[in-house]
């Protein structure tokens, strides 16, 4: 069965079409892999029965010649997407037993395309974190280990469960959400591909909100092609989300022409930060060289406000989160811890229901929006955000895409950075600007660190130009020939 779980999504699609194997067989192989990889704690809720039922439907459709684009493809769903009749927790105690009576637009689209869901994946609580250590359901373990070191490593976050699930071959792809790097950083840490599309490409309807102006759904997969296939079916205008954009969704797979000749690739000098490991610098140089070999033109650029991106992000995101999380009050659904008066009920419920990191961000957000601080923090951050966007607009006058490392380090050990939130926040240093500017960004595995851990490169595109991002990433992928697999893979 391991042969089936090792297929790419595109390969599985072809195999199902050719009836080399059935959807039931493909799903069963992944259901078994999910069980076998339980030590990773990648899933909060496994849905084997649902998966089998969906696979049976897929086989019936395939038999009738009525297969849909993702017919019978087993996927994992980040537990931030509301799923009709299936527990949705946001990895928080406050939603610990919440079963939505509705399905998020993105997962409904995947289902309508024939995808099979093997389970809901673990994440940082309310997607707040970069190591998946803040989950109320326990940390996720990265299937990768350092060479000669058995200590468990973090998968990155917040979509750590989805990244680990795909890296460990328990699903052919997964959904994630990315607010400051939550798809790209775990993709880099787990040696897979992760794409955050342009803000507005995917509907946010039915996704538990963290920071509304930054949140975007996107796919994880093991190849650029697989990610492009998933992206095609996740994207689309949704009248239920006022911030989703009414634009046609191209067939992103068709963008993988392998031809980047003449494309101008921006290399931002501000991304060479102090203390960045040499091997990441080297990998970046290697990426530039690969693109040059393929006929692209590297162009040094400047994104002068980069250094303000992280502080700006850590004002905007908590501000929105403090308001978005106000609805978890113990009144209508989720956890309720009673109290004498209603204020006691709020305090008891939210103190018991939210973990440390969520509480920290709610407090930061409340602070920066408070009377007397609003102008100095929130308003200033909005202005900085505009400047960061303008940096990219300027750059895109001369380049077609931008190449950077995804994260300043490879995966680290559980507990290695968790004592200092600021060090943890630095993980997002290369990814947050993309969210603040609303741009598409993709991370792909491009090499290994000295101790055998995957390292990612990030391709950033113009707004709504995911096609160029996929095209550039496709070329990098074929040059990088990243074939390493984690030992922890099923």
Partner 1 sequence: MSATAESKNLIEGKTGPWEVVIGLEVHAQVLSKSKLFSGASTVFGAEPNTHVSLVDAAMPGMLPVINGFCVEQAVRTGLGLRAQINLRSVFDRKNYFYPDLPQGYQISQYTQPVVGKGELIIDLPGGESRTVGITRLHLEQDAGKSIHDLDPRLTFVDLNRSGTALMEIVSEPDMRSAEEAAAYVKKLRSILRYLGTCDGNMDEGSMRADVNVSVRKPGSPFGTRCEIKNVNSIRFVQQAVDYEARRQIDVLEEGGTIQQQTRLFDAGRGETRAMRTKEEAHDYRYFPDPDLLPLELDPEWVARIKASLPELPDEKKARFMTEYGLGAYDAGVLVAEQASADYFEAVAKGRDGKIAANWVMGELFAALNKAGVGIEKSPVSADALGGMLDLLKDGTISGRIAKDVFAAMVETGKPAKTIVEEKGLKQITDTGAIEAAADRVIAANSKQVEQYKGGNANLIGWFVGQVMKATGGKANPAAVNEILRKKLSG
Euclidean distance between CA atoms 272 and 264, whole angstroms: 20
Under DSSP, is residue 154 helix (H, G, I), strand (E, B) or coil? coil
Reply yes or no on whether 78 is catalytic.
yes
For residue 257, the minimal CB distance to partner 1 (Å) is 34
For residue 410, how many C-alpha atoms fall within 13 Å in the half-sphere facing its CB?
25
Q: What is the widest separation between alpha-carbon atoms in the chain?
A: 70
Strand segments, DSSP code E, in 132-244 are 173-178, 193-196, 216-221
Bridge partners, 176 (sequence order): 218
Query: Which has the closest alpha carbon to 355: 66, 58, 93?
Result: 93
* Annotated active-site residue in 58, 78, 203, 433: 78
Out of 331, 352, 363, 376, the residue judged to bind partner 1 by CB under 8 A: 331
Q: Rule CB under 8 A: which of 415-474 touch partner 1? A: none
Least distance between partner 1 and beta carbon 381 (Å): 11
* Residue 369-408 contact track with partner 1, rule CB under 8 A, x = bound: xxx--x---x------------------------------
Nearer to partner 1, 126 or 144 (CB): 126
208 sits near partner 1 (criterion: CB under 8 A): yes
Q: Which is nearer to partner 1, 70 or 211 (CB)?
A: 211
Q: Looking at beta carbons only, is 235 or 399 nearer to partner 1? A: 235
Annotation marks residue 182 as catalytic:
yes
123 within 8 A of 80, measured Cβ to Cβ: yes
Measured between its terminal Cα atoms, the distance across the chain in Å is 10
Interaction residues for partner 1, span 40-79 (CB under 8 A): none
Nearest approach in angstroms of CB 369 to partner 1 is 4
Residues 46, 119 contacting (CB under 8 angstroms): yes
Please report, as residue ranges, which positions from 310 to 329 form the binding site for partner 1 (by CB under 8 A): 319-320, 322-323, 325-327, 329
Among 32, 57, 241, 416, binds partner 1 (CB under 8 A): 241
Q: What is d(CA 119, CA 122) in angstroms, rounded to the nearest whole number?
A: 10
Of the ranges 22-30, 128-136, 239-247, 248-256, which one interacts with partner 1 (CB under 8 A)?
239-247
Site for partner 1 in 148-207 (CB under 8 A): 204-207
Rounded to 5 degrees, what are φ and ψ at 448? -115, 150
For the bound state, the minimum distance from the C-beta of residue 179 to partner 1, rounded and expressed in Å, comes to 12
- Alpha-carbon span 349 to 331, nearest angstrom: 9
Q: How far apart are CA 212 and CA 378, in angstroms?
A: 15
- Could you tell me the smallest distance in angstroms from the CB atom of residue 337 to partner 1? 15
Q: What 3-state DSSP class applies to 249?
A: coil
Sign of the Cα torsion 82, 237, 123, 71 reads positive
93 as an active site residue: the answer is: no
Q: How far is CA 21 from CA 7, 31, 380, in A?
A: 12, 16, 57
Q: Does 286 bind partner 1 (CB under 8 A)?
A: no
The residue from 14, 102, 254, 394 that contacts partner 1 (CB under 8 A) is 102
The answer to whether residue 353 forms part of the interface with partner 1 (CB under 8 A) is no
Cα separation, 485 vs 364, in Å, equals 40
Q: How far is the CB of 79 from partner 1 (least distance, A)?
A: 11
Q: Which residue has the tokens 């060090």?
A: 423
Number of neighbours of residue 466 by Cβ within 10 angstroms: 30
Contact between 302 and partner 1 per CB under 8 A? no
Among 5, 47, 104, 159, which residue sits at the site for partner 1 (rule: CB under 8 A)?
A: 104
Q: Which of 117, 135, 162, 182 is catalytic?
A: 182
Candidate ranges 69-77, 236-244, 296-304, 391-399; the one touching partner 1 (CB under 8 A): 236-244
Stretch that binds partner 1, among 331-339, 406-414, 446-454, 456-464 (CB under 8 A): 331-339
Annotate 409-425 with DSSP letters as a single string.
SS--BTTSSTT-HHHHH
**Catalytic site positions:** 78, 158, 182
Residues of this chain that bind partner 1 (CB under 8 A): 81-82, 88, 90, 95, 98, 100-102, 104, 204-209, 211-213, 239-243, 319-320, 322-323, 325-327, 329, 331-333, 342-343, 346, 366, 369-371, 374, 378
């Amino acid at each position: 069965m391991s042969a089936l779980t090792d297929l790419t999504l595109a390969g599985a699609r072809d195999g199902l079409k050719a009836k080399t194997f059935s959807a039931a067989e493909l799903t069963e192989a992944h259901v078994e892999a999910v069980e076998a990889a339980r030590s990773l704690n990648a899933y909060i809720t496994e849905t084997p029965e649902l998966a089998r039922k969906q696979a049976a439907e897929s086989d019936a459709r395939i038999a009738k010649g009525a297969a849909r684009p993702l017919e019978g493809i087993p996927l994992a769903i980040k537990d931030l997407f509301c799923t009709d009749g299936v527990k949705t927790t946001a990895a928080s105690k406050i939603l610990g037993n919440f079963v939505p009576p509705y399905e998020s637009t993105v997962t409904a689209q995947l289902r309508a395309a024939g995808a099979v869901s093997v389970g809901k994946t673990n994440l940082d609580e309310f997607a707040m974190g970069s190591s998946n250590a803040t989950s109320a359901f326990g940390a996720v373990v990265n299937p990768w280990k350092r060479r000669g070191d058995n200590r468990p490593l973090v998968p990155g976050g917040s979509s750590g469960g989805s990244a680990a699930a795909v890296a460990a071959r328990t699903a052919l792809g997964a959904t994630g959400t990315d607010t400051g790097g939550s798809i790209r950083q775990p993709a880099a840490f787990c040696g897979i591909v992760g794409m955050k599309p342009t803000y507005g490409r995917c509907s946010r309807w039915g996704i538990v909100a963290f920071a509304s102006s930054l949140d975007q759904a996107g796919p994880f997969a093991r190849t650029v092609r697989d990610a492009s296939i998933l992206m095609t079916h996740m994207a689309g205008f949704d009248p239920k989300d006022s911030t989703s954009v009414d634009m046609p969704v191209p067939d992103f797979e068709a963008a993988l022409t392998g031809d980047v000749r003449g494309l101008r690739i921006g290399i931002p000098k501000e991304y060479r930060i102090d203390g960045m490991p040499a091997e990441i610098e080297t990998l970046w140089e290697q990426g530039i060289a690969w693109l040059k070999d393929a006929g692209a033109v590297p162009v040094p650029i400047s994104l002068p406000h980069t250094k303000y991106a992280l502080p700006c992000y850590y004002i905007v995101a908590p501000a929105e989160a403090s308001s978005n999380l106000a609805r978890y009050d113990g009144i209508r659904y989720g956890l309720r811890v009673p109290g004498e008066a209603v204020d006691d009920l709020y305090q008891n419920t939210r103190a018991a229901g939210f973990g440390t990191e969520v509480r920290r961000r709610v407090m930061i957000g409340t602070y920066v929006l408070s009377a007397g601080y609003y102008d100095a923090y929130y308003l200033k951050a909005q202005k900085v955000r505009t400047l960061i966007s303008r940096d990219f607009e300027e750059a895109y006058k001369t380049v077609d895409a931008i190449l950077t490392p995804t994260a300043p380090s490879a995966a680290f050990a559980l507990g290695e950075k968790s004592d200092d939130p600021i060090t943890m926040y630095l993980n997002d240093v290369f990814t947050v600007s993309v969210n603040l500017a609303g741009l598409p960004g993709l991370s792909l595995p491009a090499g290994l660190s000295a101790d055998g851990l995957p390292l990612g490169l990030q391709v950033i595109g113009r707004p709504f130009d995911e096609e160029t991002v996929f095209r550039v990433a496709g070329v990098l992928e074929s040059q990088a020939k990243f074939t390493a697999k984690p030992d922890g893979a099923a």
